[in-house]
Amino acid sequence: MPLPTRKAQQAALGAVLCLGFADLALLMLVLGPALQIEAEQARSQPVTAERQAARPQRSAPSARGAAPASRRDRSLVAPTATAPVPTAQPAALPTLASAAAPEPTPEPRPSAPAPEPPPVLFFGTGGATVTSPMRIALQGVAAAMRAAGELRLLCRGHADARGTAEANLALSRRRAESVAAVLVHMGVARERLAVEALGASEPLDAGSNPAAWDRNRRVEFRWR
């Protein structure tokens, strides 16, 4: 069998190469997208690892720089519009048609007229007995006290200047006590009566004679 010529060899080699290029192109057409995806994943893995390594450093700032970082984070967040919270309106108070008229102040009651001053009762020498004329005069005093329930009376007993001071003081007390007892017998409450013994300390007449002594032996009254 004759050997192929050089041209035949070159033609056969070209055909083989053409078939090889065709198969290689077909292989690249099939495997190209998969290789491209793997290359993209390989390139993205270092970047992701670097971001994960750097993320704890950014999330844990120092205590001194925490406030500025949070301020920057807030500035990056878009403000959200919040609807205003409706506030409860106070209920309207009812308006008065006119101001209330002031209450009339009660007029003070007219005070009862002061009763007439009781009469002065005069006693005999050394005596403390209430006589009948004295009782008639005391009836008016008792009637005035019964009419005015708040009225009180002070019975003041006196004596003349004769005798000792102790005897005169005791005598003047007996005279005042006798008058008060008659008023109680006429219906006056004892707690509305007071008794005072003055002896010869307040004479009605400063003379030193029987007429002056008669005037000084007495019981006087004072409304209270």
Q: What is the pLDDT along the chain (224 residues), one digit of tens a residue?
A: 455 566 666 666 666 565 556 566 666 675 666 666 666 666 656 555 555 555 555 544 444 444 444 444 454 444 455 555 556 565 555 555 555 566 667 666 655 566 788 899 999 999 999 999 999 999 999 999 999 888 999 999 999 999 999 999 999 999 999 999 999 999 999 999 999 999 999 999 999 999 999 999 999 999 98
The two structure tokens encoding residue 173: 């007390």
- Domain tally, the chain: 2
Does residue 125 sit in the same domain as residue 213? yes
| CATH code, 149 | 3.30.1330.60
85 within some domain: no
pLDDT given for residue 87 in this prediction = 61
CA-to-CA distance for 158 and 218, rounded, in angstroms? 5
Task: Using the Cα atoms of residue 91, residue 96, residue 99 and residue 103 in order, give the sign of their dihedral.
Answer: negative
pLDDT given for residue 120 in this prediction = 96
Last residue of a domain, one of 55, 71, 86: 55
CA-to-CA distance for 28 and 48, rounded, in angstroms? 29
Rounded to the nearest 10°, the torsion over CA 156, 157, 162, 168 is -110
78 within some domain: no
Domain interval for residue 216: 121-223
90 within some domain: no
26 within some domain: yes
